Amino acid sequence: MAELSTIARPYASAAFAAAKDSQVGLETWAKAVKQLSEIVSVAEVKELLSNPKATEADSLAIFDTLLPDMPADVKNFVQLVVENDRWAVLPEIAEQFIQLKNKHDGKAIAQITSAFELTQEQLKDLLASLEKKFSVSLEPEVKVDPALIGGVRVIVGDQVLDTSVQAQITRLHDKLVAE
């Protein structure tokens, strides 16, 4: 089976192109796509949508009921997704849509994992140096993982910057084993 990201890519691109041309705007589309992603992640909704007896009209009715204020162009997108039986890929579509939107806005998400809780000052300093390194405005997503022992691991798009003690130990181990 094809990777979810491969399946989602043309849908995310089409949704983004439609959103750029839409009168409701990118923010409204981003919010709607995120809501669609959340809806299909609910176990009861998954069960209803995956029911083999459910028709396309039934599936569309579920989305209409749960998102009654959905703009017309978003409804058209949902109809396309349902017709092609790709509703399960909506979380990946949403993720790729947000990446396209962030790129368009000159932003990126920085997934920062730290061994210890970062203070606001430390986070501010880290973001400033990361924005300089990656040449984009960054939105931080911070989490703590004591397994890193010390330091931070930062993921921006497909780039990884790992200055954790755990990564240094792993590199040292690999070097010793190779010799």
Render 135-171 in DSSP notation, one character per residue. Answer: TSEEEEEEEE-GGG-SSEEEEETTEEEE--HHHHHHH
> pLDDT for 8-46, tens place per residue?
999 999 999 999 998 988 999 999 999 999 999 999 999
Question: Which residue intervals of the chain bear CATH 1.10.520.20?
Answer: 1-103
Share the mean pLDDT of the chain: 93
Q: What's the confidence (pLDDT) of residue 112? A: 96
Q: What's the confidence (pLDDT) of residue 17? A: 95
CA distance 41 to 52: 18
Where residue 166 falls among pLDDT bands split at 50, 70, 90?
Answer: very high
Q: What's the confidence (pLDDT) of residue 2? A: 62
Q: What's the confidence (pLDDT) of residue 165? A: 92
pLDDT at residue 157 greater than cutoff 90: no
Task: Give the fold, CATH level 3, of 106-178.
Answer: Glutaredoxin (3.40.30)
Question: Which residue intervals of the chain bear CATH 3.40.30?
Answer: 106-178
17 CB-contact burial (10 Å; exposed 0-12 / middle 13-18 / buried 19+): exposed
Antiparallel, parallel or unpaired: β 159-162 and 107-114: unpaired
Task: Give the fold, CATH level 3, of 1-103.
Answer: Peroxidase; domain 1 (1.10.520)
Quick check: helix, strand or coil at residue 116? coil
Q: What's the confidence (pLDDT) of residue 48? A: 93
pLDDT at residue 1 greater than cutoff 70: no
Report, as an integer, the average pLDDT of 108-128. Answer: 95
Angle at 153 between CA 93 and CA 119, to 5 degrees: 105
